[in-house]
Structure 1
Amino acid sequence: MTDEAELRAQLVDAFEGAEYPVAGPMELVPALPDGPGTTFESGEFSMTVMELHAKTSGGDFPYDDVESLVDDLLAELRDRGEMDA
């Protein structure tokens, strides 16, 4: 079972170092702790940032802050059935 709070914390930690506002996903890459190989895991959920980008729209840029980016990514993962309940 995916712990959404745990996944949210991982996403925030990974993306909070970007210089906001960000105009596109490539502006997030320098903030990632392991670059494109950064992985997010919780319960049965495991996805690299590259998979996250491929399995979602990548977000509705521009973003002024990390919270709105993470909110959109989590909503899309839920909508697409990528997280188990």
Structure 2
Amino acid sequence: MADEETKAELREQFTEAFEGADYPVSNPMDLVPALPDGPGTRFEAGDVSFTAMELSTKLSDIQDFPYDDVETLVDDLIVGLDEKDML
């Protein structure tokens, strides 16, 4: 399990990457224009590293679109990564 510092770092990276999206977002493709490197945008903290595309693929069954704000999206991403033992 990742420590709280890793989770906090990922939360910060996700928020920064996704806060520029045009909310509400109804699917993962609505988030792509906000990402600095598109689907290849990489998130890294502690011993974990993955791209936005990997996140979308591995968490597709956990994400609950639409999202009205970045905080709810980021919360679900962190919970999903935890549930999938990706942290």
Name 1:43's counterpart in structure 2: 46
Q: Deviations over 1:17-42 (max 9, x none)?
A: 00101111111000001111100000
Which runs of 5 or more residues in structure 1 are unaligned?
Answer: none
Question: How many matched pairs?
Answer: 83
Which runs of 5 or more residues in structure 2 are unaligned?
Answer: none
Please give the root-mean-square deviation of Cα atoms over the aligned residues, in Å: 1.2
Q: TM-score, normalised by structure 1?
A: 0.92
Q: Give the one of 70, 74, 81 matched to 2:78.
A: 74
Worse-matched range after superposition: 52-61 or 64-73: 52-61
Hey, what's the Cα distance between the residues in 2 that align with 1:33 and 1:12? 12
Task: Establish whether residue 63 from structure 1 lines up as the match of residue 80 from structure 2.
Answer: no
Q: Stretches of 4+ moved more than 3 A in 1?
A: none
Name 1:12's counterpart in structure 2: 15
Q: Per the alignment, in what secondary structure is the counterpart of residue 23 of structure 2? A: coil
Identical residues among aligned pairs (%):
60
Hey, what's the Cα distance between the residues in 2 that align with 1:19 and 1:45? 28
